Amino acid sequence: MYDIVMALQWVNDNIESFGGDKKRITLFGESAGSIALSLLCTSPLTKGLFTKAILESGTSIFLKSNWLAANLALSQRLAEAVGCASQVKTIENDPESVVGCLRSKKADDLARVLWSFSPAATSSFFPQYDDDLIPRNFLDEMREGNFHHVPLLIGNVRDEGAFLITTKQPEVFGFFGHKNPNINKTHAEDMIRSIFPISDNSLKSMPSTI
């Protein structure tokens, strides 16, 4: 996300050289990009760097502080798998060495190892607050009005989240859905309910064939 901040700073410094207007910069994000953009709407590092925002299918409203433990556990598992950590040298007791080693690895190699854990593993890391970029909990900032007061458009993308149904259930659908299982309506409802907690009434409109 610091890369996005740097890109925004560059755009502000250079947009007028391309005939643009730095007073009319609109940020657009979809899915994970929308989650990141909603966080940037509360970040002190991006204040004044954009004037409008569009969020499609995602906000940071669901992020929780206790996900730090899950982030660290997955990071440790990844670091061990690529030879950057061990049960003795961990990302918590020697973060500089472990993170430095991870940064020396190719992104493709890290992604392949993550995918070997689960097709959805690459979307299992979540932003944490308590640094210069995101100093405080997103919800607290929103409740207290500590966000960039810019025009905001929020919407949904059709079939957003369908990707999660296959990647969260590799034992049923295989790797990225390469299997073609026959599932009944009850099984489909159970899978959707486990991934997207929703009310029972909202499932009544589900078609009988999936």
pTM across the whole model = 0.72
Q: Cβ neighbours of residue 135 under 8 Å, at least 6 residues apart?
A: 44, 129
Least confident of 115-129, 131-145, 166-180: 166-180
Backbone angles phi and psi of 74, in degrees to 5: -70, -40
Is residue 74 scored above 80 in pLDDT? yes
More confident: 184 or 200: 184
The residue assigned the tokens 């740097």 is 6
Which of the four pLDDT bands, split at 50, 70 and 90, describes residue 2?
very high
Taking CA atoms, 192 is separated from 12, 185, 189, 203, in Å, by 43, 11, 5, 9
Give the span between the Cα atoms of 118 and 102, in whole angstroms: 19
Residue range 149-160, pLDDT digits in tens: 999 999 988 877
Residue range 33-50, pLDDT digits in tens: 999 999 999 999 999 999
More confident: 120 or 110: 110
Give the DSSP H or E segment for 164: helix 162-167
Token pair in block for residue 45 = 């590092």
CB-based burial label for 144 (10 Å; 0-12, 13-18, 19+): exposed
Q: How does strand 26-30 pair with strand 52-56?
A: parallel
Give the DSSP H or E segment for 11: helix 2-14
The percentage of residues in the chain with a pLDDT greater than 70, rounded to a whole number, is 85
**pLDDT at residue 165 in the model:** 73
**pLDDT at residue 206 in the model:** 52
**pLDDT at residue 210 in the model:** 47
Give the span between the Cα atoms of 31 and 35, in whole angstroms: 6
Tell me the mean pLDDT in the region 116-126.
73
